[in-house]
Each structure stands twice: as structure tokens, then as C-alpha cells.
Amino acid sequence: MAQEPPAQDLMNYEAMAQEALRGVVRAALIRAGQPGGLPGAHHLYLTFKTGAAGVEGPEDLLSRYPDEMTIVLQHQFWDLELDDVGFSVTLKFGGRPQRLSVPYAAMSRFYDPSVQFLLQFEAEATGPVSAPAPPPVASIAPKAVPEPEPGSPKVISLDQFRKK
């Protein structure tokens, strides 16, 4: 009896899941931009590919991070603006305010250490792309997160629920 090849995902569910998870990032940024900022001890680590299409910022700053850069939104950030494609924010680097614009597609990680919540993405390819690339896949994974203490919240990997 011959084994049938796996069915092709013509719905592109992986891309839909990634887009939905990027919506979590956007929703968290909306909360961060409200009067009073982030509630409680929440703070956001946003890691993005600096060479990805649409990333904008001072060249001297971005050149110091040729692959990825992590910014933290906690107490001192200004002019947070969001749209359907990405966000812009002003942060201080070396005591000087600098404006960064980051498309959600450039994001590689989102982490709120106050609650041990991590989203990890495969960010869009760097540089201009001549043909559309297949959509990246997102996963929730505990990579680069220290082992949680007993009784603390845990990061759950969606990989265990995916067909192999």
C-alpha cells in the first residue's frame, strides 16, 4: 500500500497564524501608547532585523547592529505611533533622542519579562525583495528565556500541536 504525499496547505495557515500573533504585538503597543503607559511592571523587549525592508532610523545607530537590534519600551519612550504596517517610536541612545520606524514584518522576537511572555517570529528577508517570499512562520518558544521558577507562568510552544 503506497503512502499518499501530505496535503498541500493552500489556505496558508502558518502565515495566518503568524499574522494573528503579530496582532498581539500591535495590541500590546496600543496599550503601551495609552495615557499612563504600560500597566504595572510590564515592559516590552522588541527585537527586529535592522536590514529588513521598511526599517528606518539613524544610519549610525542601525549600522552598530547589522543583523538585529532589541529596544525596550518601559518608562522612557516618546511619540509611539502605530499603523497596520508597523510602529515608530522615539528612544534615547547615548542621551540623544532617536526616532525608529519598524514594520511588524521585521520583528523577530517580542518579550515581556514581567510575565515571561515570548513570541518568536521568522522575520522578513533583509533588503529589497524582487519576488514575494513565502510568508514567515511564527512560534511561541522559550528560546533565550531562563528556566522559570516553580509556580511562575510558562511559555508554551505551539510546535507540539503542529503536524510533522
Q: What is the pTM of this model?
A: 0.71
pLDDT per position as a tens digit, 112-156 = 999 999 999 876 655 543 333 444 443 333 334 445 555 555 555
Q: Specify the number of domains making up the chain.
A: 1
In a domain, 1, yes or no: no
pLDDT at 75: 85
pLDDT at 33: 92
pLDDT per position as a tens digit, 60-85 = 999 999 999 999 999 889 999 999 99
Q: Please give the Cα distance from 124 to 141 (Å, whole number).
A: 18
18-26 average pLDDT score? 92
**Does 9 score more than 60 pLDDT?**
yes
φ, ψ of residue 90 to 5 degrees: the values are -105, 130
- Residue 70 vs residues 102, 112, 119: alpha-carbon distances, Å: 11, 12, 14
Of the pLDDT bands very low, low, confident and very high (cuts 50, 70, 90), residue 111 is very high
In a domain, 9, yes or no: no
Domain range enclosing 58: 14-33+41-126+135-143+152-161
pLDDT at 149: 56
In a domain, 25, yes or no: yes
In a domain, 57, yes or no: yes
In a domain, 102, yes or no: yes
**Does 2 score more than 50 pLDDT?**
yes
Instruction: Kindly report the three-state secondary structure assignment for every residue of the chain.
Output: CCCCCCCCCCCCHHHHHHHHHHHHHHHHHHHHCCCCCCCCCCCEEEEEECCECCCECCHHHHHCCCCEEEEEECCCCEEEEECCCEEEEEEEECCEEEEEEEEHHHEEEEEECCCCEEEEECCCCECCCCCCCCCCCEECCCCCCCCCCCCCCCCCCHHHHCCC
The CATH code of the domain that includes 91 is 2.30.30.220
Least confident of 6-20, 66-80, 89-103, 134-148: 134-148
In a domain, 5, yes or no: no
In a domain, 8, yes or no: no
In a domain, 157, yes or no: yes
Three cell numbers, residue 139: 512560534
pLDDT at 44: 96
